[in-house]
Amino acid sequence: MTKDYLFEIGTEEMPAHVVTRSVNQLADKTTKFLNENGLKFKNIKTFSTPRRLTILVEELAEKQDDIDEIKKGPAKKIALDQDNNWTKAAQGFARGQGMSVDDIYFEELKGVEYAYVHVKKTGKKASEILLNMNKVVKAMTFPTKMRWAVNDFEFIRPIHWIVSLFGNEVIPVKLLDITAGRKTEGHRFLGDSVVLANTGDYEDALKDQFVIVDATKRKEMIVTQMSELVKENNWKIKPDSSLLEEVTNLVEYPTVFAGTFDEKYLQMPAEVLITSMKDNQRYFEVYDQDEHLVNHFISVRNGNQDFLENVISGNEKVLVARLDDAQFFYDEDRKYPLSHFIQKLDNVSFHDKIGSMSEKIKRVRIIGNFLAEKWQLDEQTIADFNRASELYKFDLVTQMVGEFAELQGVMGMHYASLAGERQTVAVAIKEHYMPTTAEGELPQTIVGSLLSIADKLDTIITFFAAGMIPNSSNDPYALRRYAYGIVRILLNQSWSLPFNKVLPEIVTELDGQTSAKLPKTELQDDEIASFIRDRINQYLQRNQFKYDIIDAVLASNQQDPIQILSAANVLQLHHDDEQFKPVVESLIRINNILKKAEFKGQNIINPDLFENESENKLFIEVNNLSKLTNLTALYEGFVEIQPIINLYFETNMIMAKDETVKNNRLAQLKLISELATGLGDLSKLVIK
């Protein structure tokens, strides 16, 4: 027999961002709890609002299965000692089965006597086991927890009530001074408390009290009401799933409304208005059919239609106060030329152990120019980069960014544009912050990409030099994200940058040009290079490369992300081919031979020493391979010459008695081996 089990934790308002994951956590922990206790069930459904986390366990067995089993234990000679007393082994066996040694009997099996117990237990009732749901609650974890009243117990917010119903029966789970019952609470203002007759009443009973407990339905209500408003007014909105999710978890009973503000504010950059609406107030911004921002916003009230006009006018007033502030900053900032702000950067510290922002800008320009030359970027790009590198931090000292820090870069772009700077320059100012999250959008322009890489490289180099190196648990300056961003941009722009080679060159360029400490020893260069290599690893992992392939491509000397990715792509693409195994095995064999022979010579081969055609053939084919720059072609080449390599081994004794012949053959193998390292350290591959 089964019944549904309803468990609701009623709290004070939880942070919107923890609601969904917490109810999922409750479901997971309950699943584990029921499994461990041998209680079968069909499914767990979740409900959640800012004030409650609820699970409904569907078709939960009313009791554990009965147990009637014979269990075999240790042999008799192990179970009993010389004096015929029970050994530790016997005691442990009995205890493990929930029995005592008195229950042990012996029976012969294939000529040996063994200890047995007959385990016979009636399954416990679910109603008894469910009393332990308080342990499930106590095991829950949250990003921040709190104590309240006189308790030591911590939870996300204070707990006020618990509903625990098995069918129509209350399971009186106890937590702190709360005993679970059948009473739940309606909407804080519109609803009343309500007594549930049984689990089936839950959703409807709370709906009557203005609580939509199903988060999905609540979200649908918001979406539906919003689209009606949008349609009515011939507006457009841009979907924003994270804001929608947040708003869904800020309300128990959603009513969508629209507000208006004066058109004059639309003269400000759209980002300013959006920040005021979205980040500060959790409003959705509204567009016309041509996707221009209009002087309206959409928000969601936690309540019904009553007195909605109060709510609308209150929200309008708050927004106008914010926009007024922004307008003031916007007007103030535009009174000055850009040079006014650039000068101020002398007094802005980049980091007190490193130096001022002005100094950083100088270094970034050197790094960018060095890279631009390496990548042979055109003159206009370099000119734009130089101008952008001069400007790109000025907005930090504008009033707008002082107030709305999240607008850094964006305001720089707008103000630069207004001041008549070239569009490529203005855009680069904004783009240099990108990507702002690990998988965030990358700079689209070449100048922006270059500026972003130069800026991030400078940060990493100077932080490492100043000894502020992230460790596994602590990366306060987000250097990992910067390094990961560099890797992504390099790959996106197909720019080659072998870090081990280039870093010392950059440090040389900077030497004498800055008062900031630079990484002195090669060791530090190694550390930075390997730090960046770890990010390439991260990139490959996130892009679903197989672990052995990642190991192989990262174990080679190659430190150019683009070459490493290319090798990984080739290996991943052919990993499951039929020829993959023999090709890789033969290349590994070549390496092993070289290692065993401790060959230290060069890869220079003398064809005059060839003794047969197989040697000549391999020589010609390998020479052709060595001209390839494309790793796919290289791999395919290895596949093609596979029979020739095999024939070579069949025909020739590598470790020939004649020392010169031997070395000539080893030199041939060395050339192959060197070509193969372009694909990585193949010995790391797991070949089935």
List of residues contacting another protein (CB under 8 A) = 12-17, 50, 144-150, 152, 157-158, 160, 188-190, 250, 281, 299, 301-303, 306-307, 310-311, 313-315, 317-319, 321, 324-325, 328, 349, 352
The distance of closest approach from Cβ of residue 190 to another protein in the complex, given in angstroms and rounded to an integer, is 7
Task: Closer to another protein by CB, 254 or 519: give it.
Answer: 254
Chain centroid to CA 655: how far? 52
On whether the CB atoms of residues 554 and 536 are closer than 8 A, the answer is yes
The distance of closest approach from Cβ of residue 399 to another protein in the complex, given in angstroms and rounded to an integer, is 12
Picking from 490, 433, 425, 502, the residue whose alpha carbon sits closest to that of residue 461 is: 502
On whether the CB atoms of residues 594 and 669 are closer than 8 A, the answer is yes
Task: Closer to another protein by CB, 139 or 321: give it.
Answer: 321
Instruction: Indicate the burial class of 442 (C-beta count within 10 angstroms; 0-12, 13-18, 19 or more).
Output: middle
Task: Closer to another protein by CB, 105 or 328: give it.
Answer: 328
Phi/psi of residue 295, nearest 5 degrees? -85, 50
Q: Which residue has the tokens 């042990």?
A: 104
Joined tokens for residue 189: 């203002």
Picking from 294, 291, 275, 292, the residue whose alpha carbon sits closest to that of residue 283 is: 275
On whether the CB atoms of residues 229 and 298 are closer than 8 A, the answer is yes
Task: Closer to another protein by CB, 352 or 650: give it.
Answer: 352
CA separation for the pair 140, 27 (Å, rounded): 11
Instruction: Indicate the burial class of 477 (C-beta count within 10 angstroms; 0-12, 13-18, 19 or more).
Output: middle
The distance of closest approach from Cβ of residue 6 to another protein in the complex, given in angstroms and rounded to an integer, is 24
Task: Closer to another protein by CB, 160 or 264: give it.
Answer: 160
Task: Closer to another protein by CB, 172 or 314: give it.
Answer: 314
Task: Closer to another protein by CB, 259 or 678: give it.
Answer: 259
Joined tokens for residue 25: 């956590």
The distance of closest approach from Cβ of residue 249 to another protein in the complex, given in angstroms and rounded to an integer, is 10
Task: Closer to another protein by CB, 163 or 311: give it.
Answer: 311
Picking from 470, 638, 497, 601, the residue whose alpha carbon sits closest to that of residue 559 is: 497
Any idea of the CA torsion for 611, 612, 618, 620, to the nearest 10 degrees?
90
The distance of closest approach from Cβ of residue 344 to another protein in the complex, given in angstroms and rounded to an integer, is 11
Task: Closer to another protein by CB, 314 or 607: give it.
Answer: 314
The distance of closest approach from Cβ of residue 147 to another protein in the complex, given in angstroms and rounded to an integer, is 5
Crossing angle for the helix pair 446-465 and 522-542, nearest 10 degrees?
130
3-state DSSP call for residue 6?
Answer: strand
The distance of closest approach from Cβ of residue 277 to another protein in the complex, given in angstroms and rounded to an integer, is 10
Instruction: Indicate the burial class of 267 (C-beta count within 10 angstroms; 0-12, 13-18, 19 or more).
Output: exposed
The distance of closest approach from Cβ of residue 272 to another protein in the complex, given in angstroms and rounded to an integer, is 18
The distance of closest approach from Cβ of residue 283 to another protein in the complex, given in angstroms and rounded to an integer, is 8
Task: Closer to another protein by CB, 404 or 484: give it.
Answer: 404
3-state DSSP call for residue 665?
Answer: helix
Phi/psi of residue 139, nearest 5 degrees? -85, -5
On whether the CB atoms of residues 153 and 137 are closer than 8 A, the answer is no
Pairing of β 2-11 and β 52-61: antiparallel
The distance of closest approach from Cβ of residue 312 to another protein in the complex, given in angstroms and rounded to an integer, is 8
The distance of closest approach from Cβ of residue 43 to another protein in the complex, given in angstroms and rounded to an integer, is 31
Task: Closer to another protein by CB, 158 or 498: give it.
Answer: 158
The distance of closest approach from Cβ of residue 409 to another protein in the complex, given in angstroms and rounded to an integer, is 20
Task: Closer to another protein by CB, 39 or 229: give it.
Answer: 229
Q: Which residue has the tokens 């012969």?
A: 108
CA separation for the pair 442, 221 (Å, rounded): 35
Q: Which residue has the tokens 């988060």?
A: 215
Task: Closer to another protein by CB, 252 or 455: give it.
Answer: 252
Instruction: Indicate the burial class of 47 (C-beta count within 10 angstroms; 0-12, 13-18, 19 or more).
Output: buried
Q: Which residue has the tokens 């192989």?
A: 552
∠ CA(484), CA(490), CA(495), 5° rounding? 160
Phi/psi of residue 432, nearest 5 degrees? -65, -20
The distance of closest approach from Cβ of residue 528 to another protein in the complex, given in angstroms and rounded to an integer, is 25
Task: Closer to another protein by CB, 263 or 352: give it.
Answer: 352
Q: Which residue has the tokens 């870069």?
A: 409
Crossing angle for the helix pair 522-542 and 499-510, nearest 10 degrees?
130
> Could you give the count of Cα atoms lying within 13 Å of 601 in the half-sphere of its Cβ?
20
On whether the CB atoms of residues 435 and 482 are closer than 8 A, the answer is no
DSSP one-letter code for 63: B
The distance of closest approach from Cβ of residue 323 to another protein in the complex, given in angstroms and rounded to an integer, is 13
Task: Closer to another protein by CB, 318 or 366: give it.
Answer: 318
Joined tokens for residue 33: 């709890």
Phi/psi of residue 256, nearest 5 degrees? -85, 140
The distance of closest approach from Cβ of residue 470 to another protein in the complex, given in angstroms and rounded to an integer, is 19
